[in-house]
Every structure is written in C-alpha cells, then in structure tokens.
Structure 1
Amino acid sequence: MTNFVSVVGTVFVDCKGFANEQYIALGRNLGSIQFVHGGVGRNVVENLANLGLSTALVSTVDDSALGEEIKKRLTQAGVSLEYLPAAPAQGMGMWLALLNEHGELVGSISQMPNLATMQHMVMQRGEEIVNASSHLVLEIDLNEQISRHMIEVASRYNKPVYGIPGNLEVILQNLDLLTKLDCFICNNIEAEKLVHSDFSDLALGEKLASLQTYVEEQGLQSMVITLGADGSIYYDRRTKELGYQPVFPVDVVDTSGAGDAFFSGTVMGLVRGLKLAEAVIYGTKVAGWTIESKENNCQELEAKMQQDDVFQRLLVK
C-alpha cells in the first residue's frame, strides 16, 4: 500500500499575542495580535502534507466562514477532507497564547471543541478510515472512546499508530493505550507526569536511563521526549536504539507549534522507513523551521526540505 496517513485530532483557532518588549505578567504589554489556524491534529496533518505525504484529517470544523477558510487551506495543501464534517457549533476549539519578546510561550488558555460529532463519525467509520490508511496519527487525549476505538481497529488491521498527547487527561487514566502505539512522542513536562517526577532536573544520562527504564517496564514500543532548546532523547525497545539528538541553530520567532512540528517530522521519517535515531533528525529540522515562523506551520517546508543536505541524505538512503 502507498503511504497514506490519517490524522485523528482537533482543529483550533489560535489567538496569539506577541510582546514587543519585556513581557510583564501583570502589566500592559504593547505588541501584535494574530489569529492563526491551529489544533494538534490540524497542525500535524498540514505539516505531513507539506512534507510530501498523502494525508487525511479526521476531525470536525465549525459550520462557518472560518471553518470554510480552514478547509480551503487544508485542501490547498493536499489534505483529504473526506472525514472532516462541519458541526453546528464548537466543532473547533480555541487557544489563547501569550508570547514574550523572545517568542517564548508564557501563558495560554485552551477551549476544547465538542467531540460528539467526531466521536460519532469515528465509531461509524473508524474501520473504513483505518482500512484506507497505511499509518495513523492519534491525538490520544481526545477522549477514551475515540482513542481506544481507533487503536483497537488499527491493531486488527496491523496498522502502525503514532501517538501525540494533548493534556494527558486520557493517557494518565488509560496508560495501557501507550503500549499499543508504534511510537509515543511527548515533551519533558509531560514526561514528569509519566516517566519521573523530577525528569526536567535530571542530567542527560539520567534522563536517558529513566526513559529506557520506563519504556521497558511499561511495555511501550518506542518513545521520544523533547527537551525544548536542549534537543530530544529517544528509545526503541525493539531495536534497542537509545540516544540524544541536539537541536540545530535557529532564529526564534514563535515556539508554539514546535512540538507538533517535531512530531510531524519524526513521524514522516518513520513512515518512510527510517530508524528512530534518523527520524528524530527530521523532527528536529522541521521544529526548527517552524520556530522561525509566526504561524504554527512553516509554509516553506517543501523548499527547505529539498535544500537541506541532511534531509536529502536521509531521503535517498
């Protein structure tokens, strides 16, 4: 089967405020405010499409002009919208983000969409979606019903599932779901709730040891933890790949969307058959290019990928 990735996740509209000078939490901050397309699922599927993979988004949008605008942009990127129905209200979420003068996130509030329409579609068409896909991406914190159903159907069809967390609410109550993923990718803050309560304060060698122990003891297939500006670590229980990937130099504009971008690049590498140690290089590159953009997605991914020597060496392997 030709690679075709279905992404099950949310669509958001993000309101971002960028401070011109030093951000003061309780003061007035001059800057700029932008509305951009967001949501973990939407971010990831656009990235994957711009990186050259055939994709579909399994989600919902509002039955509104803004919903149509989001669908138009995804269509232009080449994303299939067969599984993207419009809901009368709350088909999309909203995310309010504040960024300091360095483009670093300093505060946020999320309003989740109503998942009823998405859940109904997944329960009715989940087998069809999985059967049409070579690989699946799952925003695993949607709700237990959606996550468990998609993972169980994918398991029956022997289709790899790559998991990305939302708020950990579902994961923390259903840790067995992680064992059914081909790869799970999270950040260091999330790792503190899963791997080790003091994870962020550990030395690199201790982080690697904690990750390996967690994956082995919990029975995960593979896991990657991003460390922000410090890079990422990874472990594959099947191949015993354990390692560290540093970041590449970037000019920081906006760090929001970087985690979704890292996930997207890494998943693209895995879908193309790369080892985990090579796939995280993709992820690191895509995250860096996204950090240099004010949007949640770098609109020049295809061009940057073609011009990057590291990317091209991996692609021809």
Structure 2
Amino acid sequence: MTKREQEILIILKENPLITQQELANILGIKRSSVGVHLSNLLKKGYLKGKGYIINEAPYLVVLGGANVDIVGFTDVPLVMKDSNQGTLKISMGGVGRNIAENLVRLGLNTKLISVIGDDANGYQLKSHSQQIGLDILDSLFLKNQPTSVHLAIMDEHNDMALGLSAMDIYNQFSLAFIKKKHEILQKAECIVLDTNMPKAILDAVAANYHSQKLFLDAVAGSKALRAKNILQFLYVLKVNRLEAEILSGLTIKKTTDVPKLANYFHKIGVKNVCITLGNEGAFYSNSKINGYIKPQKISVINANGAGDAFMAGLIFYDLQNKSLKESASFGMTCAAVTLEHEDNVHPELQQKLNTQLKTFK
C-alpha cells in the first residue's frame, strides 16, 4: 500500500460517504488522481464496492505505545553522573508496537491503535509500519505534535540500566476517540493492551469489551498501577517481577514466592498469569496448571524487546488453542531469539524460530 493510499483509507474510516472531490480537496490533488487511488485500493482488496466500505479480514487489535527508541550500549561498567563511552542505536519501539510487529512477523493480521505525531519520528513509524505490513490506520494522528521517544541506557551486560520516556502525547488519547473505534474493537479476535495508554482508556476498553480475550502487558513499574481496576477482566496478565510486586502489594523474596503472587491475581479474576523473571525464566499459572520455564543459555545483545516478544509468542500460540504451558514456552523461545539481535524486534523472527524450536523446550 502506498503512502497516499494509506492517507485515503484513514479519511475513509472517519467518513466512508465522502465524495471524490472532497477527498481531492483534503489531499490537495486532482479528482482524477483520487479515482485512480480508489481503483487501486479496490483491486488490492482494501475496499469492497461503492460507499468505500473497507474490507476486513480476521484480525487482532493492539492498543498501546509506539515510540522511536534511542538505545545506548557500553562494554564497560557505567559511571553515574559522568559521560560514558559507547554506541547508539535508533530503532522502532513502544511495547504495543513491538508486540504488534512481532505478531505480524509471526503471520497474524494485526492492527495497532496508538498515537503518532507529524514529526520526522512519526514519519519513520508510518513508513516502517507500511514496509512490514502493520496496519496503523486506526491510530490517532496528531498535527504539530512530537511522536513519543524512549531513551534507554544499557549496562555492560546489555540489560537496561536506565530508561526515560517522553510520552506526553498519549494524554491526548481520549474516550471520544476510542468510542469511534467501537466496531474495530468489537470485531477483533482479541485485544492486546499496554499501560502506555491512559488509565481512563484502559478502564473503558476493559469494561466494554471484556467478553473478548483481553491480554495486558504491564509495561513498567511506574505504569503498572493503571491496570489495577481492570484485573478482573483480563484473560492474560503478563508482568515482570517488579510490576507483579507493585500491582499486588506483595514481595518476591525468593522464587517460591511467585505462585503466591499469581494466586493473588487469580483471586481477583485474572484467568491466566505470566510472570517473567529475567535470567530465571518465567512462571505461568491458571486454574488448571502452573509451572516454571527455564531460559535458554544465549548470548544477549539487547534485552530491550524480549518481554514484548514473549507476549507476542504467547498470544500467537493461544490463538491456535494451545495450552498456557505451550504458549508461555513459545513466548520464551521468541524472547530468546529477540535477545540475540540489536533491534527491539528480530527482523527474521520466523526464520530463526524454525531452528530454535528444535532445541528450546
């Protein structure tokens, strides 16, 4: 799909009865050119007949953050309050966006609803999404606003030592906007949430669409509490050690404490819980089964997107009616593959999985 075709689809989603001349006026092009673009969209299957009805194949929706990530790497221990030598990597990021890209690379038709500005970073996000086949047409596109940026400093072990997010743009994600996406959300096979979204949005989506499978990634300790009021609606809650402690008010002093935290979430109403434990692996739990998955010994290059890959793998297997143990195990395999690449999402995820699955259990 071309950039111009994407622009036309965004307008048609808001106003499917718009005329070709009105489209031309908005886009600043000739009416005849609009006709050509609409004809191409029909041929490509994005539109079905008159009235510009958008054709939808089965899909899932990710409602979450989309950033440009700036990641700093160093080979030596960091010295606080001083300039450190290292290298910088700029890549596409955001928990929701990372999950969505992983799902696309696993072959799922995925829509990302996020917030994107009209600066150079926003252009990068839109261009990259188009290249990989990620549908962002239902996102909130804002004029004269900077796209969110996340800065991460990795330590000598390639684990994050410090992160800083500039994400004020998400405060403009309103209830009025999400109401316009009712049909999209209602028809989704499942909905994936991350806590980059404002609390009011998470509350509204959970209250109105809990009949569907709701997956939630708690993102970070500082944002985890935004999900406190919707735990009872969740089909899957994925948290790391810190996020689990903040959400539950309990402490993980040793590995045997992890099932207690999972039980806390189950009592509230969470059906399935996955707690990632860094180099100790992950714990999975529901009313029927629970257990630990040990990580594979690998050479870590970037730990920044491992949790997002875990979540995507879990979702992918769950939608194929696999058990929670199988889903979490596949998620761990996706995380292992991702840890060995410098980007937040491994660009050859599917190909690498073919070899990893033969050895990683």
Q: TM-score scaled to structure 1, two decimals?
A: 0.88
In structure 1, C-alpha distance between the alignment counterparts of 2:153 and 2:119, rounded to whole Å: 26
1:293 shift after superposition: 1.2
In structure 2, C-alpha distance between the alignment counterparts of 1:159 and 1:214, rounded to whole Å: 23
**Equivalent position amino acid for 1:224 in 2:** C
1:3 shift after superposition: 4.9
1:108 shift after superposition: 1.4
Corresponding position: 1:207 with 2:268: no
Corresponding position: 1:278 with 2:326: yes
The corresponding residue for 2:284 is: 234
**Equivalent position amino acid for 1:39 in 2:** G
The corresponding residue for 2:110 is: 55
1:168 shift after superposition: 5.2
User: Runs in 1 of length 4+ with deviation above 6 angstroms?
Assistant: none
In structure 2, C-alpha distance between the alignment counterparts of 1:44 and 1:149, rounded to whole Å: 21
The corresponding residue for 2:22 is: none
- In 2, are the aligned partners of 1:161 and 1:182 still within 8 Å (CA)? yes
Match of 1:176 among 220, 223, 229: 229
Q: Which whole-Å deviations, capped at 9, do the CAs of 1:82-111 have from their partners, x for residues lacking one?
A: 212421244632111111222111111111
Q: 1:231 and 1:89, CA in 2 relative to 1: closer, same or farther beyond 3 A?
A: farther
Aligned length: 306
In structure 1, C-alpha distance between the alignment counterparts of 2:196 and 2:220, rounded to whole Å: 6
- In 2, are the aligned partners of 1:141 and 1:147 still within 8 Å (CA)? no
The corresponding residue for 1:83 is: 138
The corresponding residue for 1:124 is: 179
The corresponding residue for 2:93 is: 38
The corresponding residue for 1:191 is: 244
Deviates more, 1:106-115 or 1:5-14: 106-115
In structure 1, C-alpha distance between the alignment counterparts of 2:178 and 2:359, rounded to whole Å: 38
Q: 1:216 and 1:118, CA in 2 relative to 1: closer, same or farther beyond 3 A?
A: closer
**Equivalent position amino acid for 1:232 in 2:** A
1:166 shift after superposition: 3.1
Q: Which has a greater percent of strand?
A: 1
Match of 1:10 among 61, 65, 72: 65
Corresponding position: 1:154 with 2:209: yes
In structure 2, C-alpha distance between the alignment counterparts of 1:68 and 1:173, rounded to whole Å: 29
The corresponding residue for 1:223 is: 273
Aligned ranges 1:130-141 → 2 under 5 Å: 130-141=185-196
- In 2, are the aligned partners of 1:14 and 1:38 still within 8 Å (CA)? yes
- In 2, are the aligned partners of 1:137 and 1:162 still within 8 Å (CA)? yes
Between the two structures, name the one with larger relative contact order (CA 8 Å, sep ≥ 6): 1
Gap runs ≥5 in structure 1: none
Gap runs ≥5 in structure 2: 1-55
Q: Which whole-Å deviations, capped at 9, do the CAs of 1:84-143 have from their partners, x for residues lacking one?
A: 242124463211111122211111111114225432564332311212311110113521
Q: 1:4 and 1:23, CA in 2 relative to 1: closer, same or farther beyond 3 A?
A: same
Q: 1:170 and 1:228, CA in 2 relative to 1: closer, same or farther beyond 3 A?
A: closer
Corresponding position: 1:244 with 2:285: no
- In 1, are the aligned partners of 2:175 and 2:200 still within 8 Å (CA)? no
In structure 2, C-alpha distance between the alignment counterparts of 1:160 and 1:281, rounded to whole Å: 20
In structure 2, C-alpha distance between the alignment counterparts of 1:310 and 1:300, rounded to whole Å: 17
1:33 shift after superposition: 1.3
The corresponding residue for 1:261 is: 309
3-state DSSP class of the match of 2:180?
A: helix
- Larger C-alpha radius of gyration, 1 or 2? 2
- In 2, are the aligned partners of 1:45 and 1:79 still within 8 Å (CA)? yes
**Equivalent position amino acid for 2:191 in 1:** L
Deviates more, 1:250-259 or 1:63-72: 63-72
What's the C-alpha RMSD, in Å, of the aligned pairs? 2.4
1:274 shift after superposition: 1.0
3-state DSSP class of the match of 1:79?
A: coil
3-state DSSP class of the match of 1:80?
A: coil
- In 2, are the aligned partners of 1:126 and 1:153 still within 8 Å (CA)? no
Q: Which whole-Å deviations, capped at 9, do the CAs of 1:34-81 have from their partners, x for residues lacking one?
A: 221111111111011011111000012111232122112112222112
